[in-house]
């Protein structure tokens, strides 16, 4: 029976950070000889995805079953690009965003690396890029483009919906204030492909809770129906009964609610069970119309925004004509509101 390969704790930590990948140099440092590596590959216990890099997980990336697959895949691809270019390779663009833990990148992004000496060696995996000088910081044992410069490098080559999702994410989770985003905007100027990104900056909203929400909201803007509000709260009898992704206030006083399922707070079976009674209470009020979408619906012609626009046209909605209130939306029936007001008056001294 083949003996398992064991590593010291320090090596295990590196393996974990690099998603199970090791370079030839690291294998030698950890005592895994060339003979052992060849045997492991021949036995199908390790794989060699590119020259000079070994994967200690024999299951191909696309066949792995894990809850964090998308995050794992993004980091695996990033580390494969870095390790294949040697210990001096610097993570730039989308690869740097991955190591900064930024969400919203497409699954098929191209990892980019740069060499500090400006060399143009043949790329083994990913894309070798040479940018004008930029500041870096260390993540683990690697040099990584600083977040603002990584954004400026990556945004021009990302699909629009991914670019907005990335910007929403850094605004929500990584402390990108409007002033810092303005700096990123300035760094973009003059870069190839930057022109189409400029229009996204006014749409950045830190309340967006997932890449799918960002993509759906962009589709709504593209179709001329920007939401009146995000993460709006509905109350009945003084109790919050729902917080929803997007709302539009209709001319007749009702509300159109749009929810994007399958991501973030709606992703688990428990969440879906919890959402059902919440939706029922909204619909029972007679003052709410609910549309639910899957992220894949945005890939259809016109995206989610086209379907939302069709509903809003039937209700004669116009942008900004009926702005949502800044306070929670009260669905308490008018009779109950009057009764509560009278009770409050009687209780007053």
Cβ pair 237, 291 in contact under 8 A: no
pLDDT for residue 84 is more than 80: yes
Q: How far is CA 117 from CA 65, 80, 91, 145, 199, in A?
A: 39, 20, 14, 15, 35
Measured over the CA atoms of residue 65, residue 67, residue 71 and residue 75, the dihedral's sign is negative
Q: What is the mean pLDDT of residues 165-183?
A: 95
Decide if domain 211-334 falls under CATH 3.40.960.
Answer: yes
Residue 262 is predicted with a pLDDT of 64
Q: Using 50, 70 and 90 to split pLDDT, how confident is the model at 15?
A: very high
Q: Does position 90 have pLDDT exceeding 60, yes or no?
A: yes
**What was the pLDDT predicted at 279?**
77
By DSSP bridging, strand 229-236 and strand 239-249 are antiparallel
Residue 294: strand, helix, or coil: coil
Residue 7 sits at φ, ψ, to 5 deg, of -130, 150
Report in angstroms the alpha-carbon separations of 161 from 155, 228, 231, 294, 295: 11, 20, 19, 15, 12
Q: What is the pLDDT of residue 102?
A: 97
pLDDT digits (tens, 9 = 90+) for 259-290: 998 654 444 444 443 567 777 888 888 899 99
Running DSSP on this structure, what letter comes out for residue 302? T
Q: What is the pLDDT of residues 125-157, one digit of tens each?
A: 888 888 888 999 998 889 999 999 999 999 999
Per-domain boundaries in the chain: 9-58, 69-203, 211-334
pLDDT, residue 345, reads 52
């Amino acid at each position: 029976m083949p003996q398992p390969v064991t590593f010291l704790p320090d090596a295990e930590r590196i393996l974990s950070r690099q998603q199970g990948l090791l370079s030839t140099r690291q294998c030698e440092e950890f005592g895994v000889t060339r003979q052992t590596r060849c045997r492991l590959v021949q036995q199908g216990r390790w794989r060699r995805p590119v020259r000079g890099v070994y994967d200690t997980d024999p299951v191909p990336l696309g066949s792995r079953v894990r809850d964090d697959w998308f995050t794992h895949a993004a980091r695996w691809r990033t580390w494969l690009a870095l390790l294949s270019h040697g210990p001096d390779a610097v993570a730039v663009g989308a690869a740097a965003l991955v190591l900064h833990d930024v969400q919203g990148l497409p699954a098929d992004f191209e990892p980019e690396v740069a060499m500090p000496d400006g060399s143009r060696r043949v790329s083994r995996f990913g894309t070798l890029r040479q940018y004008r000088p930029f500041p870096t910081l260390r993540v683990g044992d690697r040099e990584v483009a600083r977040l603002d410069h990584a954004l400026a490098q990556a945004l021009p080559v990302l699909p629009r919906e991914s670019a907005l999702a990335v910007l929403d994410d850094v605004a929500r989770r990584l402390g990108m204030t409007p002033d810092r985003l303005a700096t990123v905007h300035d760094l973009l100027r003059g870069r190839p492909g930057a022109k189409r990104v400029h229009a996204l900056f006014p749409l950045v909203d830190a309340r967006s809770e997932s890449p799918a929400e960002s993509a759906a909201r962009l589709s709504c803007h593209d179709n001329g129906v920007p939401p009146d509000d995000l993460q709006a709260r509905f109350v009945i009898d003084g109790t919050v009964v729902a917080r929803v992704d997007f709302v539009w206030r209709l001319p007749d006083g009702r509300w159109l609610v749009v929810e994007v399922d399958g991501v973030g707070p709606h992703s688990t079976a428990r969440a879906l069970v919890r959402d059902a009674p919440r939706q029922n209470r909204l619909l029972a009020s007679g003052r709410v119309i609910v549309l639910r979408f899957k992220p894949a619906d945005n890939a259809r012609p016109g995206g989610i925004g086209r379907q939302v626009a069709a509903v809003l046209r039937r209700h004669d909605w116009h942008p900004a004509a009926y702005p949502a209130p800044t306070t929670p939306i009260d669905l308490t029936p008018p009779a109950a509101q009057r009764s509560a007001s009278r009770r409050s008056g009687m209780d007053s001294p």
